[in-house]
Structure 1
Amino acid sequence: MTDTTANASSVPALSDEELKKIESLSYEQARDQLIQAVQALEAGGLDLDASMRQWQVGEALARRAQKLLDDVRSQLDAAQAEQASAGATAGTQDNLS
């Protein structure tokens, strides 16, 4: 019996350097590069390896953008909680300490 997967090409995972570069992107940069990756996939014409590579890059970019959005959401939630706490003690002796 022959192993048919032996001839299949494998796409290596993104390198640490590539991941570090993606992790250094701003939200806008990650979003714009993600849009480009999706457009390249939607346009077609890529071979399987190039498509898989583009998909890997897109996934990493999407994770980066989502992490940045989650971080902002956490900051907003903390600020709102602090504001609510300050509002609850406004006009009382608690806010003087």
Structure 2
Amino acid sequence: MADTDDVKTLSFERAIEELESIVRRLEDGKVPLEESVTIYERGEALKRRCEELLRAAEARVDKITTDAQGQPTGTAPLDME
């Protein structure tokens, strides 16, 4: 299994950059099977990291746009779709 411990510390920008690189390599089709599996596993970890960071950012935006009682302050929450 790919070493994915370091993924937990990557910034969103670095994780998405590496994920895009993995996608390009896999789409190219010139990576040996065993290496393909390894980098695919890392890609999955990177995807999860990006999703985690996006959820955290969404929560921060929601918190900013509501008052202490949880009422909207006039700005809509971030739409993830």
Structure 1-normalised TM-score? 0.66
1:3-22 per-residue CA deviation (whole Å, 9 max, x = no partner) reads xxxxxxxxxx23xxx32211
Q: Tell me which protein shows more helix as a share of its residues.
A: 1
Partner residue of 2:13?
A: 28
Q: Distance in 2 between matches of 1:85 and 1:77?
A: 10
Give, as a single letter, the amino acid of the residue that structure 2 aligns with 1:51: S
Question: Given the alignment of the two structures, is residue 57 of structure 1 paired with residue 51 of structure 2, yes or no?
Answer: no
Tell me the TM-score normalised to structure 2 length.
Answer: 0.78
- In structure 2, runs of 5+ residues without a counterpart are 74-81
Structure 1 Cα separation of the partners of residues 45 and 28 of structure 2: 20
In structure 2, C-alpha distance between the alignment counterparts of 1:24 and 1:60, rounded to whole Å: 12
1:47, CA displacement in angstroms? 1.6
1:1-97, aligned counterparts within 5 Å?
A: 13-14=1-2, 18-82=3-67, 85=71, 87=73
Tell me the percent identity.
28
Q: 1:86 to 1:63 in 2, by over 3 A?
A: closer
Paired with 1:86 and 1:65, the residues of 2 have a C-alpha distance of 27
How many residue pairs get matched? Answer: 72
Partner SS for 1:81:
coil
Larger C-alpha radius of gyration, 1 or 2?
1
Deviation at 1:43, TM superposition (A): 0.7
User: What residue in structure 2 maps to residue 95 of structure 1?
Assistant: none
CA contact (8 A) 2:7 2:45 kept: yes
Q: Structure 1: where are the runs of 5+ without partners?
A: 1-12, 88-97
